[in-house]
Amino acid sequence: MAEYDVVIIGAGPGGYVAAIRAAQLGFTVACVEKEPTLGGTCVRVGCIPSKALLESSERYLEAREHLAAHGVKVEGVSLDLAAMQQRKDAVVKSNTDGVAYLLKKNKIERVVGTGRLVKAGEVAVEGEGEPRTLTAKHVVLATGSRVAPLKGVELDGDRVGSSTEALAWSEVPKHLVVVGAGVIGLELGSVWRRLGADVTVLEYLDRILPGMDEEIAKEARKLFTKQGMTLRTGVAVTGATVKGKKVTVHVDGGDDVVADRVLVATGRLPNTEGLGLEDAGVQVDARGRVVVDERFETNVPGVYAIGDLIHGPMLAHKAEEDGVALAELLATGHGHVDYGLVPNVVYTDPEIASVGRTEEELKAQGVPYRKGVFAFQANGRARAMGRTEGKVKVLAHEATDRVLGVHVIGARAGDLIAEAVAAMAFHASSEDLARVVHAHPTLSEVLKEAALAVDGRALHS
């Protein structure tokens, strides 16, 4: 007899949400986590601390540079970085404590230690106390991801760091070099730029934000440049030499750059090391991701995997939905996540958000489409807020008018995209989006106007 119905390795958004949903469905559940606090990369060193610092740094800049335009005089604005970092730590703690509370409330056994798959139905745990073996009907691997190493660049945890270090620096670097113009590079680059650093972003490709709609990424590049960020594309970083407190970053295709600190943000890799996959015979793909079928099951029956460890976007909400779907599949035989409808949000200022296919993807796939674009500039609420930069782009099928993609750059893009996701989940047409009544004056009217623009009948342009 197995001790538990479900044993989950990893308590990130994938693992802890799977645990909660499985417990709600009546399973006995244990969740193994090697870190002393719960919530995974997202809560401890990812989504939550980065958003706390983005929020604080935005307010600092607002007080310094933007409040005057509203007739609010603020004098003697100065930065207390230690207080900002303490606030961030408190925000993280309230979230990790929140996850611990939820596990307890749902009677999920929390096992502290490093888990390893022995074989189907068996997980070995090594932690502080005696090693333990847990037995379960179903084993879920949810060990997430880690920073991808960059050849020639050693992360020394001081001058050259990953996002984890860049979330905790106790002083503002004079010159920060960010390697990689992806999500992490631009979000954390923005934080330190706002706090006063000169920021140079070095990107291998000839564009920023690969994977995002190109028109939107071009607009983003323009706006970040205006904010004082230096964005150099088409350059490969090949090495970094630390000498005292300075780092020389070696670049193929351009001049070397000298910096005070370097943030390496060139992607993340699935956490499979030491997980026992080879011994248990679990298959991984060429990119090191655990291979699963549409039921999240690996090639070893009874062993499942979710979140950053498998294919699909490396996002917290995707990991959570994997967790819910898997628990429901185990309980009812039904559960599914549509990876084509996972929204993607970059929490820079302005925010950038998208769902569905990009214009480039539609072209490459030969899908006939119509496009509607509307600028925040022509929206009353955006003008009242003083937030007129950016645009919304709606892509719809030429024949059926079904919405195929929505791309937003502008204030509150991350919130605005939710409407587009809901519309697409219900197979809405651009006509449907355009005919829904949107409150006035709100930023959501920009989405409505972009939907109208698909048919060439935007009202305010």
DSSP symbol at 64: I
Catalytic annotation, pick one of 70, 336, 427, 440: 440
Residues 297-326 that bind ligand NAD (CB under 6 A): 313-315
**What is the longest distance spanned by two Cα atoms in the chain?**
71
Q: Could you tell me which residues are beta bridge partners of residue 6?
A: 29, 138
CA separation for the pair 406, 374 (Å, rounded): 12
**Residue 317, interface with ligand FAD (CB under 6 A)?**
yes
Q: Six-digit token pair at 364?
A: 């490459």
The dihedral sign for the CA sequence 308, 14, 216, 196: negative
Instruction: Choose which of 181, 197, 306, 434 interacts with ligand NAD (CB under 6 A).
Output: 181
Per-position x/- string for 343-382, each x denoting binding to ligand FAD as judged by CB under 6 A, each - no binding: ----x-----------------------------------
Tell me which stretch binds ligand FAD (CB under 6 A): 27-35, 211-219, 374-382, 385-393.
27-35
Q: How many helices (H) and strands (E) does the chain have?
A: 14, 22
9 binds, among ligand FAD, ligand NAD, none (CB under 5 to 8 A by kind): ligand FAD
Told to check if 58 binds ligand NAD by CB under 6 A, we report no
Using rule CB under 6 A, residue 266 touches ligand FAD:
no
Nearest to residue 215, comparing CAs of 358, 357, 342, 353?
Answer: 358
Check if 440 is active-site: yes
Nearer to ligand NAD by Cβ, of 204 and 455: the residue is 204
Q: How far is the CB of 126 from ligand FAD (least distance, A)?
A: 9
> 325: Cβ–Cβ under 8 A, 6 or more apart, which residues?
296, 335, 336, 337
Q: Which two tokens stand for residue 156?
A: 């020394």
**With respect to ligand FAD, which residue has the nearer C-beta, 143 or 348?**
143
Displacement of CA 433 from its chain's centroid (Å): 26
Paired with 353 in beta bridges are 345, 408
Of residues 56, 85, 96, 266, which one binds ligand NAD by CB under 6 A? 266
Tokens describing residue 307? 């979140």
Helices assigned H by DSSP within 106-159: none
Burial 365-384 (b: 16+ CB within 10 A, else e): eeeebbbbbbbbebbebbee
CB 121 within 8 A of CB 128: no
Binding of residue 352 to ligand NAD (CB under 6 A): no
Q: Which is nearer to ligand NAD, 150 or 197 (CB)?
A: 150
Among 6, 18, 247, 346, binds ligand NAD (CB under 6 A): 346
Read off the amino acid at residue 99.
V
Q: How many residues bind ligand FAD (CB under 6 A)?
A: 36
Cα distance from N-terminal residue to C-terminal residue, the chain: 68
Options 139, 150, 247, 319; binder of ligand NAD; rule CB under 6 A: 150
Partner from ligand FAD, ligand NAD, none binding residue 202, C-beta < 5-8 Å depending on class:
ligand NAD
Return the range that interacts with ligand FAD (CB under 6 A); candidates 38-46, 95-103, 194-202, 359-367.
38-46
Q: Which residues are catalytic?
A: 440
Q: Footprint of ligand FAD on this chain (CB under 6 A)? A: 9-15, 32-35, 40-42, 46-47, 50, 114-115, 142-145, 163, 184, 271, 275, 307-309, 314-317, 319, 347
Q: Footprint of ligand NAD on this chain (CB under 6 A)? A: 150, 179-185, 187, 202-205, 210, 236-237, 265-268, 313-315, 345-347
